[in-house]
Structure formats: C-alpha cells, structure tokens
Structure 1
C-alpha cells in the first residue's frame, strides 16, 4: 500500500500546482483555496481538504485542479480520514473527472492504488473503512469488479473469510431477493457483478472447498455461517 501511495504522488507530482482553485461565489469563499495551496500537498491535513473533496468538480474547481489533488484525496478517502464526504463520494469523482482518458501512467497509478487498497483488506481484519465500503468505492470508479471479487473468493486468508462472513450477514439483505444495503448504484454494472458473484454458485463452491481444507474450529464456524447465508437450503 505504501508503494502504491508513493507511486501516486510520484506520477501526479508532475502536475503543476494550480495558482488558484476557483469556485462558485455562493459556495466557496474568495480566499478559501489558499489553505489548499499554501503547503505541500502530501502534508495537507484531511480537515483542510475535506470541503474541497465534497465540492470538487461540482462547485469548486475543474478536472485539471482535481488531478493535482488526486494523490491526497485518494489517500485520505482510503483511510476514511474525512468524516465527510464519505469515501464513495471521493472515489466516484474519478468518473466525473473522466480518469479513463488520462495519460497511461496516471491511469496505471490509480489502478495500482485500488488493487493495493483491496489487497490490504484481504490481509487484515478488521479494516477501516470496512470491506463493504471498499467494494462500493471500487464500483464508483467504474473499474470491473471481477478481479477483486475473484481475489476475495479464493478465501486465501483468515481475514478474507472474516470479511466475507460479515459481508453476507451484515451487508446483504437476502429476502425476497439479494440486495446490497450500503452505498451502491443499484443500476450500475458493479452492483450486478456483486449480486451475480454471490448467487451463481462460484462462491458457494469456494466456501465448500475452503471448509474441506480447514482444521481450525473457529474458522470452520465462520465458513459454516457463510454457507448458510449463501445456500440456506
């Protein structure tokens, strides 16, 4: 994760610091951008950046200014350091900024950061923000979720199993039809990818395979709870 953050700052550090970040005169004070620009980006406190994080690309600044702030915005959102805005709002601004049209090095740095952030969750439990929030954040960026779900579905760590148990019990409503209950665009492709992953049998098979190879009683109990949620019959 540290390497991915460093790469973000290295790649986006080539973008010149804006002289000003203009905003809607009704929403942003005339000198409110000074707190964003008068210190090095990496040392910018989350509380100084939070208001911009909420208003960026809507009523404060455009895509070029946003690209300058991307490393710190993603670093803070990934740590749930803002309080408000929610991490999903910040990650979703990548789509508003049309990040898929950025130069190859910038796209690659963002993608590497997203992969590292997800891998971190699969190695540790608990994490903040939780894995349900991380998954919905990934969906808001427009990336395909299948590689992330496949990595989770390997259940290669106890952390991944614990996260899955919490997810299927706390973050999914199963009746009358499966529904995700955190911050999701239910019409987006990511939502459908997760529902399909939960219901098409792949995950049930992975849980059963993990159960066969497991000997620890506490982990077997977790797998049994997951299996009951996925295949109650």
Structure 2
C-alpha cells in the first residue's frame, strides 16, 4: 500500500508540474494584499487560497505539496484542502489532472482501511476521509463500495468504530448512516467476530453487532 501512495503522489506531482509555484501570491487588495507562501504555515494559507488569495493556477501549483502534507502531518484540515477542488471546478480540468486526484483519493482510502489505527497524517479515520471526499464533491458510495470489498480485520475494526459512533436517534440518516445500518453490515461484523473472537478487539466487534440488532 505504501507503494500505491508513493505512485499516486508522483502522479499528482507530474500532472501539476507545469504550474509554477510562486513565493508570493496576489491577495485581495482590499483585505489581504500580497501573501508570502510559507510551507511551515500552510494551514492559514489553505483557508483563503483560491478565494481571496491566489488564482486557480496557484491552487494547482500548490496542490501536490498540500496533498502530500495531508499524509505526512496533522497540521492541515483535509476537508478544507479538498474543498478547494469543487470551488475550482476540478471536474472541468484536463483529464490527466482529474485522474491524478482520483488516483490519490483511491490510494489514500485503501491505505486507510489497511491499517488500524491508520498512519496517514491528517486522515485520522474513515469518517475524516469521507467528510473530505464529500467536500471535494465526490459521492461517498464510491468509497463505501471499496469498503464492502475489503473484508480484512483492519477494515472491520474501522467499521465497528463507525457503528459505535452512529446516532441511532437521527430521524434522517446520511448515506453513510444508511450503509452502516444494513443487514449486510451486521452480518459482516458477526463474521468478523467469529474470525477474531480471540483477539483484543473482539468485544468491539460484538458490541457493534449488538447495536445493529436493536
């Protein structure tokens, strides 16, 4: 999985290499003025990037470093970073750029499900990733289908944790909430418990299963 992430990041760098990174970005003359790009403080820049600071080309130029920083540290907000994409109409970008972002999202998601606990910087759990994917304008069903096709202990432990955090009193559950409440989820947790009943996390699987029986 490490190789897939490395390949995905390389693809992002290649796809956006033709956009030069500027040390100073043009800001709104009425509220910001020129803004120095400081890689030690990218968080404050991400809030205004593409809005009152910088152009679409600047967003594209900085996207590789932002996506890589999301994986290497917890100092950026994934939803803020990926939320830049629909504002910049990324589904109208050249196909190679769209495919690079798609490959990144797919690689991050698969890697996230592979490890428990995850080791992906700002992507601390599946919920964080799915919120960021929604911010990017993506349908969560795309990623839930991958989760369905990943019946591993790590993916099952993530599933149990998500069920444990469900608000069962919510009158209109989200797409994720509906997916989690399925009989298929309950059956999967039961199979996971049968497989891992001697493991330290067996109780988590059983408790999640019981919650879905209610």
- What TM-score comes out, normalization by structure 1 length? 0.77
SS in 1 for 2:25: coil
Match of 2:32 among 23, 28, 42: 28
Residue 161 in structure 1 maps to residue 156 in structure 2: yes
Find the counterpart in structure 2 of residue 207 from structure 1.
189
CA distance in 1, matches of 2:179, 2:136: 19
Find the counterpart in structure 1 of residue 139 from structure 2.
144
Q: How far 1:213 sits from its partner (Å)?
A: 4.8
Q: How do 1:113-192 and structure 2 match up within 5 A?
A: 113-127=104-118, 128=121, 129-170=124-165, 172-177=166-171, 179=173, 192=174
Find the counterpart in structure 2 of residue 2 from structure 1.
6
Counterparts in 2 of 1:130 and 1:26: CA distance versus 1, 3 Å: farther
Counterparts in 2 of 1:176 and 1:22: CA distance versus 1, 3 Å: closer
Q: How far 1:136 sits from its partner (Å)?
A: 0.9
Counterparts in 2 of 1:222 and 1:63: CA distance versus 1, 3 Å: same
Counterparts in 2 of 1:176 and 1:207: CA distance versus 1, 3 Å: same
Q: How far 1:59 sits from its partner (Å)?
A: 1.0
Find the counterpart in structure 1 of residue 18 from structure 2.
14
SS in 2 for 1:147: helix
CA distance in 1, matches of 2:170, 2:45: 40
Q: How far 1:2 sits from its partner (Å)?
A: 1.4
SS in 2 for 1:173: coil
- The gaps in structure 1 that reach 5 residues or longer are 37-44, 180-191
CA distance in 2, matches of 1:7, 1:18: 21
Contact 1:11 1:106 in 2 (8 A): yes
- What TM-score comes out, normalization by structure 2 length? 0.83
Find the counterpart in structure 2 of residue 230 from structure 1.
212
Q: How far 1:79 sits from its partner (Å)?
A: 4.2
Contact 2:160 2:189 in 1 (8 A): no
Residue deviations 1:69-120 (CA, integer Å, cap 9, x gap) = 111122223445325xx22111111111111111111000000000111111
SS in 1 for 2:83: helix
Cα RMSD after superposing both structures: 2.4
CA distance in 1, matches of 2:182, 2:197: 27
